[in-house]
Structure 1
């Protein structure tokens, strides 16, 4: 009992001693309090603090504040968003309560006018999904945002990712198993010019993936789609004003078994042939008769011979090394201003150079002999075929955004290609009893240009829209030189006779 009493007494004394020391310490402090006001009354939530310290507080709804400081001279700062900060020097003594009322004034400044503009995005996954949902047709789509997640280098590789689509030779597209004649390709809502004169063909590989905005593949008919398709319609759109500037360059090589690093035979060509351009090296000379059949020796002795000598009579192929296939791609995007309006340009250049060597067996047979149970051959030929393919393409798009709802674009596509072929045919014709050593030289130049001036306009919060296009397309096919000659080989002596 006595021990517990002494313990309680000690605890009470210690508590009183701690309280006394705390009151003594507080008695040495000073207090600053007051009210912060502005033109319309009390300033609630204004910051009041001692300069250079963390001592301070925030005013209440009535603009009142209070905090404790050490005795001495202090600089009290009052600040509030939109008002001029005020600094007041005040001196307080130990235990003193200092009243410091502060009036703050508005910081009136003329802000510069600015406009917030937005750009309608069409190359994102969300934008493409929205187009699919709004469409009443069966449609698949690929956006630029999706393409960036892949390693696809051109539109040909992109189209191969779409279910039901097959690209043959980078030019011909099959949709749902139907051949190219049943499918259409549209570039910016205009029919894409064909790379072939007698079949629908578009060079997908000349469009780098970096400049593709989106690709839509429609597999069911609609009023706004061409009516001459049964498989599908591919709509390809390229970018206008880029989101950011960029420059890319890529280079690739391909090894072809049986073709790369081999002896390669080809017709004589000029230097510009490497760019897929015909500079007239193998064109017919000026004044050459339009119909050689009308030329006779009655027009003059040796008239026919003179016409023949006017041609470039080189009947031997050049021998070079085939090397490896090569491809290059360059793309540049830039943004700039035209009369204060946002504008941009995207330009890409592609180049492909490939050589192929084929050993082709050609056989033909008479009607099957059912009595002797055998096929009677007509001929057995072996063709050594050397093909050289060159393709160069340029895409250049310019765009000006007149306002967030109005944009004008000028889009250009140019593609040129050249195919050179040399064939040496040997073997035996059993029906006519001769062994040929035939030679064929051929060069084919193709080119296509597509230019479009387009506009996109939106009104009434996108409920009314107008899209228009003025397009021009040009395609050509030039076969300046196709030569062949036949030599018969004496199988006994090996001598050849033209």
Structure 2
């Protein structure tokens, strides 16, 4: 039997009115994509064989995998009134990307930052909104309002849409673009898929780091060891958050000795068994299973369901260097440097449960429940040089940093699609979604030891410091809740040479966030120096030593004004209307207006009284405005079209950025402080694109874009009192971004059957002007925007064997250097901006299809072995080894 890629598309009772409805409506686009990659091929054959008002019984066609994977997404992209890029599940599978973030970097003009966040056309993640099946979702990240896209495994994604030009049915908080992650839907027939895989990284050849505290079960979740003990929670409630000896004595009315005994008992209740040791690393492990079916309950009613579970346990192990530049003796110089090893174990678990009920061909209700869990257990150890040790070549510090975090997202959605041919062909979409995101970071441990290298090469004689912070333990909790209601109504109107689609709707989105952090320190100020040298962490901070009043350990813990405790809420109410006009099948004009009322409040919280700090009315803001868009498409011929678009949008400060408390960013390790005076950013967006779609899936496009920004928000470095970087947020006066995008997919069968070449290239530039303030003194007040790369390139050389048994892809991705953080100056002397250097990513993916039901996929990631580097003042200030990864995955469909 010939192993061509067979596709069957069956459509029954597809009337002319319904075809026109599908052509323009969101419902129709979703249905066409769900039918699979055969829609475009089948529709082309059907149009040639039947009249538009006849019934299509069945169409069967064959195509290569190249055609199959591209046809559906190309068809949806062509049908969009506004500039958008679509990424389908087959395309994601082909490149072997494991999550949404990694997959989106293949889209034209998109760059991946920190492995989690997407920059659209060089604008930071704040300038892009993310939706899940068209609904807003909360974020478990304490320093960002945008959800980390690495939380979404590729196995639950049906497609992703990146809309780059604004339309009124999108939220006005739209800068670079909107990313809509669309999860897999109800199948039309029984599906049962299972897969298992493993992986290995070249960095695994070196031993990793782990520690005795916490738990290490297969889910990576904390077994309660790291959590704040109940005794401590009760004491914090009793003593109004301060468990210092003096506060206990005052509250209980007891002498200092009695209060000190209570203090020691509370210290012993904490988990202080966090000894770090070396360990070998296990290979990565992943697996997934999905099952679904559809049942005809009667001639009119159909019920379907789909459930899926995905599990992934992986390790990372790399070396890091970090240098901080400052001004000394009238010149830029190194004021801190360090070298460390970082080992992290990450566990990802996702679950999806969908139910669907359909009545006839025109009414459908579907529910989706999606659970995402991502845990990371991270250990970092290394030598640090500071101003206190740089002058002494025999002395350095040896830092240990242990961090555990669990991120969860639970979202429940119910949506409906209805078509009423008897009522002027009106179509109605509606959706309600509620979501909760949590971040739990219990028992974060940090301690610094003196390293006397005079007693040995490298790491010599280690001694704990005789300070109040001999070790610190931090406990953070964050909860983000979101609710989203929306309804869209469409009315098609048909005239002799004109088709008009009138669309309107409304949306209400609510978010509420609470963030709590408690930090404790165990003091060794009264401990003899002899007891602090050459001793392990578990031994020094044993219960016996803690409870021994003569040993000298003491617990400190009281809230401060800078603790990251805050409450925040946001509500957006919106209504819109747009008109989509097609004239003579050549011209298409779409445009409309959106009204949004935005209310937001963010206030610091005093844990002692559980009251907000300051006047909450001054911390809130409320505003409303009207935002418009206009898009014009001209069909040059059956294969070629021109697009033009304009949109006025806004980018608002997120919940975190308006609170003036300090967080330590979990990704950058920088201190981050909010700015309550931030203003919204207003944007004017212009787009133009030429598109050419050829048979066999070939396509070419060239796009131009320009964005004008008023009050752009930038992350900048603030003046600090120590050698740590403190990042804050500031409004610039103006900003602009402009560029050109090229995209292509070329069939190379003339060279070799089954060979193709695809890719995209974005060339752009930006400029922002920011004035200095009393807290921020920038070296360059006019420069490129932070995070903006002047070029982004994606190339893929692919091969599909004619017998359908083999496919292979060589994929290259690179983004030009971009500003990681802006340079600051002291007096008249400035330090230059820090630039993250291009990372040349080259991956190879090979898939073997031994039969119709199974496939074996092999991937080599980062073939070139490139590292992540940041340079400042011509000096390498940060580097992180990445390594080359190998993975093997087998999947079977019953």
Band the TM-score falls in, shorter-chain normalisation: 0.5 to 0.7
| Aligned equivalents of 1:338, 1:402: Cα separation in 2 | 10
- Answer yes or no: is the 8 Å Cα contact 2:231–2:269 preserved in 1: no
1-structure distance, mates of 2:365, 2:89:
21
Structure 1 counterpart of 2:223: 279
- In the TM superposition, what is the alpha-carbon distance from 1:197 to its structure 2 partner? 3.1
User: Deviation string for 1:131-156 (max 9, x for gaps)?
Assistant: 54553311222455766877666545
SS in 1 for 2:108: coil
CA gap 1:352/1:266 in 2 versus in 1, 3 angstroms: farther
Cα distance in 2 between the residues matched to 1:207 and 1:349: 10
Partners of 1:278 and 1:302 lie apart in 2 by 29
**How far 1:158 sits from its partner (Å)?**
4.8
Say whether 1:367 aligns with 2:327: yes
SS state at 1:269 partner: coil
The answer to whether the 8 A contact 2:208-2:343 is kept is no
Which stretch shows the higher mean deviation, 418-427 or 182-191? 418-427
Q: Is the 8 A contact 1:206 1:392 kept in 2?
A: no
| 1:471 aligned partner | 433
> Equivalent of 1:327, from 286, 294, 298?
286
Cα distance in 2 between the residues matched to 1:436 and 1:271: 29
Which runs of structure 2 are paired with 1:297-376 in the superposition (5 Å)?
298=249, 299=254, 300=258, 301-337=260-296, 341-367=301-327, 369=329
**Deviation at residue 375 of structure 1 after TM alignment:** 6.2
CA offsets 1:172-224 (integer angstroms, 9 cap, x no match)? 12222222111112112101333423321243563435x54443221111110
**Structure 2 gap ranges (5+):** 1-11, 15-27, 41-71, 465-894
Residues 263, 458 of structure 1: alpha-carbon distance in 2 compared, 3 angstrom cutoff? same
Distance 2:89 2:274 in 1: 50
**Which whole-Å deviations, capped at 9, do the CAs of 1:209-263 have from their partners, x for residues lacking one?**
5x54443221111110111111111223234331332222223333322235634
1:138 counterpart = 2:95: no
Counterpart secondary structure, 2:221 = coil
Q: C-alpha displacement at 1:448, in angstroms? A: 0.6
1:456 — aligned with what? 417
1:438 aligns with 2:399: yes
> Equivalents in 2 of 1:478, 1:180: separation in Å?
23
The Cα of 1:169 is off from its aligned counterpart by 5.2
Distance (Å, rounded) in 2 between the aligned partners of 1:380 and 1:133: 52
- The corresponding residue for 1:497 is 463
The 1:293–1:133 alpha-carbon spacing in structure 2 relative to 1, beyond 3 Å, is same
Matches within 5 A, 1:144-155: 155=100
SS of the counterpart of 1:197?
Answer: coil
Moved more, 475-484 or 343-352: 343-352
CA distance in 2, matches of 1:457, 1:216: 22
SS across alignment from 1:280: coil
Between the aligned partners of 2:448 and 2:102, the Cα distance in structure 1 is 42
Q: 1:385 aligns with which of 313, 335, 342?
A: 342
Kindly state the Cα deviation for residue 454 of structure 1 after the two structures are TM-superposed: 0.6
Q: Do 2:243 and 2:263's aligned partners in 1 also have CA atoms closer than 8 Å?
A: no
Q: What displacement does 1:276 show?
A: 3.8
Match status 1:488 vs 2:450: yes
- Structure 2 equivalent of residue 410 of structure 1: 367
1:26 paired residue number = none
Q: Is the 8 A contact 2:215 2:221 kept in 1?
A: no
| Superposition pairs of residues 118-129 of structure 1, within 5 angstroms | 120-123=31-34, 124=36, 125-126=39-40
Give the superposition deviation at 1:350. Answer: 1.6
Report the counterpart of residue 186 of structure 1 in structure 2: 131
Q: Residues 154 and 307 of structure 1: is their aligned pair in 2 closer, same or farther, counting only changes over 3 Å?
A: closer
Task: Give the corresponding residue for 2:210.
Answer: 265
> In the aligned structure 1, how far is the partner of 2:124 from the partner of 2:446?
33
Write the deviation string for residues 259-311 of structure 1: whole angstroms up to 9, x where unpaired.
35634334533244x31433322111113133345443735242221111111
Does 1:206 find its partner at 2:148? no
Contact 2:306-2:353 within 8 A present in 1 as well: yes
Q: In 1, distance between residues paired with 2:420 and 2:91?
A: 29
TM-score (norm 2): 0.39
| Structure-2 change in CA distance of 1:207 and 1:404 (3 Å) | farther
Distance 2:198 2:174 in 1: 37
Secondary structure of residue in 1 paired with 2:204: coil
Superposed CA deviations along residues 105-126 of structure 1, whole A, max 9, x for unmatched, are xxxxxxxxxxx77795433453
Structure 2 CA distance for partners of 1:315 and 1:456, relative to 1, 3 Å: same
Answer yes or no: is the 8 Å Cα contact 2:337–2:384 preserved in 1. Answer: yes
What CA distance in whole angstroms lies between the structure 2 residues aligned with 1:171 and 1:451? 23
TM-score scaled to structure 1, two decimals? 0.67
Aligned-partner Cα distance in 1 for 2:450–2:396: 6
Query: Which stretches in structure 1 are left out of the alignment for 5+ residues?
Result: 1-115
Is 1:240 the counterpart of 2:185? The answer is yes
Q: CA deviation at 1:324?
A: 2.6
Q: Report what 1:171 is aligned to.
A: 116
Which is further off, 444-453 or 455-464? 455-464
- The answer as to whether partners of 1:117 and 1:404 remain within 8 angstroms in 2 is no
Once residues 152 and 364 of structure 1 are traced to their aligned partners in structure 2, the CA distance between those partners, rounded to angstroms, is: 34
* SS of equivalent to 1:397: strand
CA distance in 2, matches of 1:377, 1:155: 38
- SS where residue 407 of structure 1 aligns? strand
Call closer, same or farther: CA 1:197–1:385 in 2, change over 3 Å.
same
Does the residue aligned with 2:282 lie in a helix, a strand or coil? Answer: coil
- For residue 170 of structure 1, report the CA deviation from its aligned partner: 5.2
Could you tell me which residue of structure 2 aligns to residue 15 of structure 1? Answer: none
Q: In structure 1, how many angstroms separate the alpha carbons of the residues matched to 2:107 and 2:100?
A: 11
Displacement of 1:388: 1.9
Instruction: Return the alpha-carbon distance in structure 1 between the equivalents of residues 405 and 114 of structure 2.
Output: 17
Q: CA deviation at 1:495?
A: 4.0
Q: What's the secondary structure of 1:477's corresponding residue? A: strand
Distance in 1 (alpha carbons) for counterparts of 2:106 and 2:322: 36
- Single out whichever of 199-208 and 232-241 deviates more from structure 2: 199-208
Number of positions where the alignment pairs a residue of Structure 1 with one of Structure 2: 378
Note if contact 2:213-2:274 (Cα within 8 Å) is conserved in structure 1: no
Instruction: Output the CA distance in 1 between the equivalents of 2:112 and 2:324.
Output: 31
Structure 1 residues 459 and 348: alpha-carbon distance in aligned structure 2, compared to 1, 3 A threshold: same
Q: Considering only CA atoms, is the larger Rg found in Structure 1 or Structure 2?
A: 1
